Structure 1
Amino acid sequence: MRRIAFPCKLSIGTDVVYLPRIRRLISKREGCNLIPFAKRILHPLEIRDLSHRHPQWQAQHKKSCVDSDSLIKWLGGRFAAKEAARKAMGATTLGWKDVRVEVKGSGEPQIICAIRDMDNNNIECEAKLSLSHDGDYVVATVLAAATPEISTSRALQDSKSS
């Protein structure tokens, strides 16, 4: 029997984050590493979302670092989602801020990746995101459909990095 590719080219990425690890990363240095950590991995729109959901986050570094489990879960979810998106896109050239989580009006999260097409134009591609929290773990799964622009852009990025 002849085998053919699935009609839609799909990519999947999954990541599991151990929340105590996020807490340790934030509490690493003298005092608290929350603000540098957030600014390193979050897109400016995610920083805005963080400030809206957890208005106390910037004041946390003055306390015993992070005492909010919901803040750790939120950051762990973003971390896992970004790692899963990078795996699904097959793009190790994607930086932390090139990938963001956006929540639709319905409450459904999605991934937005900022890449460049073959003409060097900025484009954003969307992917499906599923996040699950259970105890000390967060699991993120990203499902991305390849489009001609993304496939061409990936090939271009790969050829430049070789």
Structure 2
Amino acid sequence: MEPEKTFSHLDAAGNPAMVDVSAKSETKRTAVAQSIVVLGDEIMQHLTNGEIQTKKGPVFQTAIIAGTMGAKKTSDLIPLCHPLGLESCKFQIQVNEANEVVIQCIASLTGKTGVEMEALTGASVAALTIYDMCKAFSHDIVIKETRLISKTGGKSDYTGK
């Protein structure tokens, strides 16, 4: 029989609380998160050699820098996240067969708590940056999906559906 699941960020009295990780052992932890941005034909016609150039600069390269900065600031944005020293934060930005921009953020460290929120924040901030840099062409931009793809390390691994 599987143990009953509970919300991890509530104490015994039901108050918000940061999870106590002091008894956990350090393990190598990695998380992959993805955001999908639909820019539309008006913007995608500016895609050349895998990049969109604007007056503000290269869109995807700027999104990678912003996403990395966002991942590093996750605990400043999400109140009960532990501040983590990321060992790696990498991005892949590609255009899929449906002409959507697919952003993947891969975050990792060796520590007592996972990096899912850092990967999700990195992918989200990269998507928001793409929106910001392209909105002069059109506001018909949709950030369609942000989700966890996988995580390893800690008490359980996860691979999304």
TM value normalised by structure 1 = 0.33
Q: Which has the higher helix share?
A: 1
Question: Does 1 or 2 have the higher relative contact order (CA < 8 Å, sep 6+)?
Answer: 2
Q: Which has the higher strand share?
A: 2
TM value normalised by structure 2 = 0.33
